Amino acid sequence: NAGVMQNPRHLVRRRGQEARLRCSPMKGHSHVYWYRQLPEEGLKFMVYLQKENIIDESGMPKERFSAEFPKEGPSILRIQQVVRGDSAAYFCASSPPEQGAYTGELFFGEGSRLTVL
């Protein structure tokens, strides 16, 4: 059973470009979470999604950031018009539906490291 798959592992963008990060949850998992980790800092919650629904986006910046988890395909975190401060590691995590919302263990991907030049 494959774990949480994130791609790309490393992404370099110039200021003003768009960054698109993908996350495929573990098989059978229907909850997806995105976290951001700035250098030498802890994890900051960004958004929690279920299929076709954003459940909690309280950690998402109001502008330039968006996330989706379509019925088919991976979850996508999109950052428009990137700035240097967006450089960070972005982690996706998933959990199975029987755990319910916000309960139990999170299974993390290896992260996507965004560098903005």
Interface residue with other proteins, options 26, 30, 43, 96 (CB under 8 A): 43
Q: Does 74 bind other proteins (CB under 8 A)?
A: no
CB of 104 to other proteins, least distance (A): 8
Q: Does 48 bind other proteins (CB under 8 A)?
A: yes
> How far apart are alpha carbons 107 and 6 in whole angstroms?
12
Q: Which lies closer to other proteins via its Cβ, residue 29 or residue 108?
A: 108
> How far apart are alpha carbons 31 and 14 in whole angstroms?
31
Q: CB-based contacts of 63: which residues, under 8 Å, 6+ apart?
A: none
Q: SS3 of 82, please?
A: coil
Residue ranges in contact with other proteins by CB under 8 A: 4, 6, 33, 35, 41-43, 45, 48, 56, 58-59, 91, 93, 100-111
